[in-house]
């Protein structure tokens, strides 16, 4: 199948200067949150690499997660303002690999979404089988860690419905979403995953999801920042313990709530 070149994702200010995000955060804490001072410290101060600095960063991350978990409300709903126009074809397209990931049936066989881990009825669903499950469509806002947002109509299956279909165990406390985009993955807390607006999306703005937006299917929820919403899904694993993720292993916040 043809592959399309698209612009790569925009980088965080620290990354653009070749500075690790954890170093940036540690320096920011030391500098009182000032970005310019933090960049200077992160780039030249060995303090950011000390055991004390790393401990400080980990402590800040744990505190931040506790706050976000307290703020999270299972019943809250994202309802974008009517004044916000649909982003349409201007919706940014991001991926990790050097080329746009496209599922090649000739090389890989028919795409299937595996659902397994702590569940009584593991699934291997084709796109047509996924579309047979209860359908949900909603106009939702996408929130990026870099500060922008975009609106689109998402069509898919609630993850909570898919979990019931698979007989997920009460012991499952985390969910890992895995991708064929250079093995990208991110794990979530089960509460966010079971939110009614957390969807396994196969359609956007009235059409089947295109490769630039994560086809054949992706996870999406307005309760998580965009980097947590894995595109190009191949596998959903229900777990008793969290197992990190592509960006969270590199210093981005693991919880990533909105």
- Domain containing residue 226: CATH number: 3.90.420.10
Instruction: Say whether both 97 and 50 belong to one domain.
Output: no
Average pLDDT score over residue span 15-41: 44
pLDDT grade, residue 242 (50/70/90)? Answer: very high
- The whole-model pTM stands at 0.80
Spatial separation of the C-alpha atoms in residues 197 and 223, rounded to whole Å: 8
Q: Residue 194 contacts by C-beta under 8 Å, 6 or more apart in sequence?
A: 74, 159, 160, 163
Judge whether 30 lies within some domain: yes
Asked whether the beta carbons of 238 and 172 are under 8 A apart, the reply is yes
Write out the residue range of the structural domain in which residue 33 sits: 13-71
Alpha-helical regions (H) of 10-156: 13-16, 21-30, 35-44, 51-71, 105-108, 127-132
Judge whether 255 lies within some domain: no
Element at 187 (helix H, strand E): strand 185-189
Q: Per residue in 147-165, is it b (16+ CB within 10 Å) or e — as a string? A: eeebbbebbbbbbbbbbeb
Judge whether 38 lies within some domain: yes
* Model pLDDT, residue 58: 75
Look at the block and give the residue holding tokens 């499952």: 172
Instruction: Say whether both 65 and 112 belong to one domain.
Output: no
* Model pLDDT, residue 106: 96
Spatial separation of the C-alpha atoms in residues 213 and 256, rounded to whole Å: 20
Residues 211-225: pLDDT tens digits? 999 999 999 999 999
Instruction: Say whether both 216 and 126 belong to one domain.
Output: yes
Instruction: Say whether both 28 and 120 belong to one domain.
Output: no
* Model pLDDT, residue 27: 45
Average pLDDT score over residue span 62-90: 90
Instruction: Say whether both 168 and 56 belong to one domain.
Output: no
Between these two residues, 172 and 72, which has the higher pLDDT value?
172
State yes or no: pLDDT of 33 exceeds 50.
no
Instruction: Say whether both 31 and 96 belong to one domain.
Output: no
Between these two residues, 241 and 36, which has the higher pLDDT value?
241
Judge whether 76 lies within some domain: no
Judge whether 144 lies within some domain: yes
Average pLDDT score over residue span 129-157: 96
Judge whether 173 lies within some domain: yes
Judge whether 17 lies within some domain: yes
The residue from 21, 41, 71 where one domain ends is 71
The total number of structural domains in the chain stands at: 2
Instruction: Say whether both 102 and 61 belong to one domain.
Output: no
Average pLDDT score over residue span 181-195: 97
Instruction: Say whether both 132 and 241 belong to one domain.
Output: yes
Instruction: Say whether both 129 and 162 belong to one domain.
Output: yes
* Model pLDDT, residue 61: 80
Instruction: Say whether both 130 and 244 belong to one domain.
Output: yes
How many beta carbons lie within 10 A of that of residue 142, not counting itself? 23
State yes or no: pLDDT of 47 exceeds 90.
no
Asked whether the beta carbons of 117 and 172 are under 8 A apart, the reply is yes
CA dihedral 242, 198, 80, 154 (to 10 degrees): 130
The residue from 46, 71, 96 where one domain ends is 71
The residue from 21, 39, 71 where one domain ends is 71
Judge whether 83 lies within some domain: no
* Model pLDDT, residue 7: 37
Instruction: Say whether both 150 and 30 belong to one domain.
Output: no
How many beta carbons lie within 10 A of that of residue 200, not counting itself? 24
Instruction: Say whether both 93 and 49 belong to one domain.
Output: no
């Amino acid at each position: 199948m043809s592959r399309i070149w698209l612009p790569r994702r925009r980088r965080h200010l620290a990354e653009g200067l070749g500075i690790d995000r954890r170093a940036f955060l540690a320096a920011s804490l030391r500098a009182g949150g000032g970005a310019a001072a933090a960049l200077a410290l992160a780039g030249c101060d060995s303090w950011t690499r000390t055991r004390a600095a790393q401990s400080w960063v980990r402590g800040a991350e744990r505190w931040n997660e506790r706050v976000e978990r307290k703020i999270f409300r299972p019943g809250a709903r994202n309802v974008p303002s009517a004044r916000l126009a649909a982003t349409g074809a201007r919706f940014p397209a991001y991926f990790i690999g050097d080329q746009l990931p496209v599922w090649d049936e000739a090389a890989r066989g028919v795409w299937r979404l595996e659902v397994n881990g702590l569940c009584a009825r593991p699934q291997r669903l084709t796109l047509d089988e996924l579309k047979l499950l209860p359908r949900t469509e909603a106009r939702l806002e996408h929130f990026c860690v870099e500060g922008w947002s975009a609106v689109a109509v998402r069509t898919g299956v609630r993850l909570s419905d898919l979990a019931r279909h698979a007989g997920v165990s009460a012991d499952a406390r985390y969910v890992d979403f895995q991708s064929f985009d250079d093995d990208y993955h991110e794990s979530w807390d089960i509460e966010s995953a079971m939110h009614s607006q957390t969807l396994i999306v196969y359609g956007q703005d009235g059409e089947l999801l295109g490769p630039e937006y994560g086809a054949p299917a992706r996870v999406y929820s307005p309760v998580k920042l965009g980097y947590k919403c894995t595109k190009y899904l191949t596998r959903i694993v229900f777990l008793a313990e969290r197992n990190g993720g592509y960006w969270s292993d590199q210093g981005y916040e693991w919880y990533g709530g909105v």
